[in-house]
Amino acid sequence: MNEVSSVPACIGIIMDGNRRWARERSLPVFEGHNEGYKRLKDCMRWARAARIPHVIAYAFSEENWQRSEKEVGYLMTLFRTILENETEKMIAERIRIRFIGDRSRFGADLRAMMEKMETVTAASYDITLHLLMSYGGRAEIVAAANRLSAEGKGEATEEDFSAALWGAGIPDPDIVIRVGGEKRLSGFLPWQTVYSELFFVDTFWPAFTKEEFDAILTEFAGRERRRGK
């Protein structure tokens, strides 16, 4: 029998189009990123209402470090502001935060704040937000292979490899949503998305609506997921 799922256990979101949204409105780029963060908070509320326990958001890729110094500086300032000011809100809203990626690229103070937010939000929660920060899919796979090699692992199983990933413990996303009009995954969780249902939306991320989100969930509920069977 074909497997038919109604509510996804985990959704992934590639949040694209912040800069283009801002340029369309003759706004500074940072306004697009700020609005993008507001939309992510909205999306967490939508996911909670739909009883989806895990959301994975592609927030900052390894390639994003190559953007202009000014833009990267703003993004790091926004990230620091979130770490400093949003923790209590996350606790109150029972949202657990996990950061997935190459943390060595961040300063020691940011790494310490990331660890603190992860720890305090894990005490009691209803939904988990996995934020991909300084993340690249190939880099994650290479890092896992190097880790297994350093541990002297001979013939590793898929389970061994999954446990060695930066995102160990994240459920494989049932759905991947890419907004912004592009039709590619851009290094988003290549190991974990082999059986994900893909949805591509033209809307820029800051303009993404609950109606579009709900329409994706409705279409997903009607899809048959064979997983190669």
CA pair distance 183, 202, nearest whole angstrom: 9
Structure tokens that stand for 5 in this block: 């799922």
Ramachandran area for residue 176 (φ above 0: left; ψ -120 to 50: alpha; else beta): beta
Q: Answer yes or no: are the C-beta atoms of 196 and 14 closer than 8 Å.
A: no
Q: Answer yes or no: are the C-beta atoms of 11 and 52 closer than 8 Å.
A: yes
CA pair distance 216, 212, nearest whole angstrom: 6
Residue 133 bridge partners (DSSP): 60
CA pair distance 174, 23, nearest whole angstrom: 32
> Which active-site residues does the annotation give?
16, 64
Residue 130 phi, psi (nearest 5):
-100, 110
Q: Answer yes or no: are the C-beta atoms of 65 and 101 closer than 8 Å.
A: no
Quick count: other Cβ atoms within 10 Å of Cβ 184? Answer: 11
